């Protein structure tokens, strides 16, 4: 995959869904482009587009959409690696938020000594 | 706190102050509340194991986590693993608890109870066959343990704590905690001081009382008396329904404070 830009990534349905859900959840998101920018860094880091990342974690079953547990574990590990090298926890959380708002539930660790 | 207020204040708390320990005295009080809960045939169903997060290594803490039960386990300083005893009926028979109910005047001849009824009929023909059925015992011991857990939850609220029931990686928990094979996991109860508003901005939206309860015949709604409803509101049992107007701002602030995703 060729490196993506902010404008490239905004057209992906999964990114549109994320943006819409963020606005619906929080009312306003003044730093939306910064959040999407963190996702741009992540997709370029892993070399897969955002729709592909979501698709990898979900599968259609007779009962509806299901989460692929192994794929979710793998993406959680990829985010943990990514945030160590690119923008820290805040950037990692933007990527987690993208996945959460696309239906892939996850919850990160919390530093117990905060 | 008044009982009605405790019931009205209970919420599942999902944000805890990770830096603040829970006093052991409060944990003991919660366990006592559970021990005194209703239990059929007075059998020993619940078997809680109290675990302190700070006494575990980071690797151990992480091994309990599931992808969606991660942040809470990091934040809550105390985890009570609630197990249910699959041999509870057999134990109650062997240790004399069943017969003890006659001795202490709980099960009496006025209601048809006697030592020989318990031994020859209740145990021999009912409980002993039941206790050999894994399917029936799984349902029974889980439900009876849940009664104890309910009292533990309410007691935690009364003690000013936040609490919530979660799942975890029980395969790891069973091994790490040394749980014998005749115990099955029911819930993990988290305890800690809430980092969020303890009333979480209001009671969760639920069906109405008349939608839930019938009177006389199934489907015939139990219509609440508005005066009673008002009394319960004054006592704090019925409270405003969530969300409060400030709740989203609180959630955002919590996410920032604890470094969680939005």
B227 found inside a domain = no
Degrees to nearest 5, angle at CA B129 with B118 and B100: 25
Question: Do B5 and B138 form a contact (C-beta atoms < 8 A)?
Answer: no
Model pLDDT for residues B245-261, shown as the tens digit of each residue: 999 999 999 999 999 99
**Statement: residue B185 has pLDDT above 70:** yes
Per-residue pLDDT, averaged over B10-35, amounts to: 97
Q: Do A110 and B18 touch (CB under 8 A)?
A: yes
pTM value is 0.92
B218 found inside a domain = no
What is the 3 state secondary structure string of B7-30? HHHCCCCCCECCCCCCCHHHHHHH
Query: Which pLDDT score, from 0 to 100, does residue B106 have?
Result: 95
Q: What is the CATH number of the domain that holds B73?
A: 3.40.109.10
Note whether A114 contacts B: Cβ–Cβ < 8 A.
Answer: yes
Task: Name the closest residue on chain A to residue B67, using Cα atoms.
Answer: A106
Domain span including residue B29: 3-195
Query: Which pLDDT score, from 0 to 100, does residue A112 have?
Result: 63
The C-alpha atoms of residue A89 and residue A77 are separated, in whole angstroms, by: 13
Please tell me the total count of domains within chain B: 1
Q: Are strands B162-166 and B78-85 parallel, antiparallel or unpaired?
A: unpaired
Tokens 């923008």 belong to which residue? A87
Note whether B67 contacts A: Cβ–Cβ < 8 A.
Answer: yes
Model pLDDT for residues B92-117, shown as the tens digit of each residue: 999 999 999 999 999 999 999 999 99
Note whether A25 contacts B: Cβ–Cβ < 8 A.
Answer: yes
Per-residue pLDDT, averaged over B192-218, amounts to: 97
Note whether B252 contacts A: Cβ–Cβ < 8 A.
Answer: yes
**Statement: residue A113 has pLDDT above 70:** no
How far is the first Cα of chain A from the last one, in angstroms, to the nearest whole number? 39
Q: Do B19 and A114 touch (CB under 8 A)?
A: yes
Is the Cα torsion angle A20, A25, A30, A36 positive or negative in sign?
A: negative
Per-residue pLDDT, averaged over B53-63, amounts to: 92
Per-residue pLDDT, averaged over A74-95, amounts to: 94
Token pair for B217 = 């015949």
Q: Which residues are within 8 A (CB) of B22 and not within 5 positions of it... i.e. 6 or more apart? A: B77, B78, B161, B191, B192, B193
Query: Which pLDDT score, from 0 to 100, does residue B95 have?
Result: 94
Task: Name the closest residue on chain B to residue A29, using Cα atoms.
Answer: B262
For all residues of chain B together, what is the average pLDDT? 96
- Percent of chain B at pLDDT exceeding 90: 97
Token pair for B74 = 């990091």
Reported as a pLDDT band with limits 50, 70 and 90, residue B68 is confident
Domain residue limits, chain A: 10-100
B254 found inside a domain = no
Per-residue pLDDT, averaged over A6-21, amounts to: 96
User: Coil, helix or strand for B123?
Assistant: helix
* Candidates A69, A100, A112; nearest CB to B261: A100
B22 found inside a domain = yes
Model pLDDT for residues A16-40, shown as the tens digit of each residue: 999 999 999 998 899 999 999 999 9
- At B150, give phi and psi (nearest 5°): -60, -45
**Statement: residue B152 has pLDDT above 80:** yes
B212 found inside a domain = no
Q: Do B67 and A107 touch (CB under 8 A)?
A: yes
* Candidates A69, A76, A114; nearest CB to B258: A114
The CA-atom distances, in angstroms, between B16 and each of B67, B192, B205 are: 18, 6, 23
The residue among B15, B67, B249 with the most chain A CBs within 10 A of its CB, best to mutate, is B67
């Amino acid at each position: 995959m060729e490196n993506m830009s902010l404008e490239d990534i905004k057209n992906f349905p999964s990114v549109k869904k994320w943006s819409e859900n963020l606005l619906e959840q929080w009312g306003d998101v003044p730093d939306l482009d910064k959040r999407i920018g963190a996702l741009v860094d992540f997709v370029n880091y892993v070399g897969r587009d955002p729709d592909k990342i979501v698709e990898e974690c979900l599968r259609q079953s007779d009962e509806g959409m299901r989460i692929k547990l192994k794929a979710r574990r793998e993406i959680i590990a990829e985010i943990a690696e990514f945030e160590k090298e690119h923008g820290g926890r805040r950037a990692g959380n933007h990527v987690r938020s993208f996945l959460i708002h696309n239906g892939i539930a996850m919850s990160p660790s919390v530093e117990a000594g905060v | 706190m008044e009982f009605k207020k405790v019931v009205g204040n209970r919420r599942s708390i999902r944000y805890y102050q990770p830096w603040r320990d829970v006093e052991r005295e409060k944990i003991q009080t919660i366990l006592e509340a559970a021990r005194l809960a209703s239990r059929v045939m007075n059998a020993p169903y619940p078997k809680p194991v109290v675990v302190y997060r700070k006494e575990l290594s980071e690797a151990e803490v992480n091994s309990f986590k599931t992808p969606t039960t991660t942040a809470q386990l990091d934040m809550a300083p105390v985890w009570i693993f609630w197990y249910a005893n699959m041999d509870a009926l057999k134990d109650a028979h062997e240790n004399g608890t069943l017969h003890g109910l006659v001795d202490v005047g709980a099960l009496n001849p006025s209601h048809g109870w006697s030592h020989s009824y318990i031994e020859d009929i209740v145990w021999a023909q009912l409980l002993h066959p039941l206790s050999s059925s894994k399917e029936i015992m799984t349902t029974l011991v889980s439900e009876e343990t849940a009664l104890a857990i309910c009292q533990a939850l309410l007691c935690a609220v009364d003690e000013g704590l936040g609490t919530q029931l979660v799942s975890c990686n029980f395969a790891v928990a069973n091994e790490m905690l040394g749980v014998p094979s005749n115990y099955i996991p029911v819930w993990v109860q988290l305890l800690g001081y809430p980092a969020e508003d303890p009333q979480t901005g209001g009671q969760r939206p639920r069906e109405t009382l008349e939608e839930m309860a019938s009177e006389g015949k199934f489907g015939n709604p139990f219509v609440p008396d508005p005066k009673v409803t008002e009394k319960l509101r004054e006592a704090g049992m019925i409270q405003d329904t969530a969300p409060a107007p400030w709740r989203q701002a609180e959630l955002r602030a919590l996410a920032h404070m604890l470094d969680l995703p939005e």
